[in-house]
């Protein structure tokens, strides 16, 4: 899966424009991703990721990095065997595209 472009509030994948937060797991896109607390990532917000068990999850924390990834969430994912990397969304998209690993996931906050 390749992300063609990202800008504030907008991501293009396979020619389709997404304007809300989304999760990508391997070759599947799960649009309209909502979090319980908006700008704080809770383990429950990633239930789908945990069920699908990718080797690595790249988290895009927003254009300005406003979404917080608490230590408890990172620890929870690592205990499930999922490596976690989080960066502002533009950097996370670059990393996601550059990471040559078929068993990867991305959780992207597109604004803030």
- The structure's pTM equals 0.96
Spell out the domains of the chain, with CATH numbers in brackets: 3-108 (3.40.1230.10)
- Residue 79 predicted with pLDDT over 90: yes
Separation of alpha carbons 94 and 97, rounded Å: 5
Output the CA angle 32-64-29, nearest 5 degrees.
25
Q: Which among 33, 29, 112 has a CA at the least distance from the CA of 68? A: 112
Q: Over the stretch 26-59, which tens digit does the pLDDT of each residue have? A: 999 999 999 998 899 999 999 999 999 999 999 9
Q: Over the stretch 63-72, which tens digit does the pLDDT of each residue have? A: 999 999 999 9
**pLDDT given for residue 80 in this prediction:** 97
If pLDDT is split at 50, 70 and 90, which confidence band does 85 have?
very high
Output the CA angle 74-76-80, nearest 5 degrees.
115
Separation of alpha carbons 98 and 55, rounded Å: 15
Q: Over the stretch 92-111, which tens digit does the pLDDT of each residue have? A: 999 999 999 999 999 999 99
Separation of alpha carbons 39 and 101, rounded Å: 28
């Amino acid at each position: 899966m390749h992300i063609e472009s990202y800008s504030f509030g907008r991501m293009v994948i396979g020619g389709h424009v997404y304007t809300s937060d989304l999760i990508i797991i391997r070759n599947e896109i799960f649009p309209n991703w909502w979090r319980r607390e908006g700008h704080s990532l809770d383990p429950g917000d990633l239930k789908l990721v945990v069920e699908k068990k990718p080797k690595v999850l790249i988290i895009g924390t927003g254009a300005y990095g406003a979404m917080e990834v608490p230590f408890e969430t990172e620890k929870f994912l690592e205990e499930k065997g999922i490596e976690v990397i989080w960066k502002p969304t533009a950097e996370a998209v670059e990393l996601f595209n550059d990471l040559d690993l078929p068993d990867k996931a991305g959780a992207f906050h597109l604004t803030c």
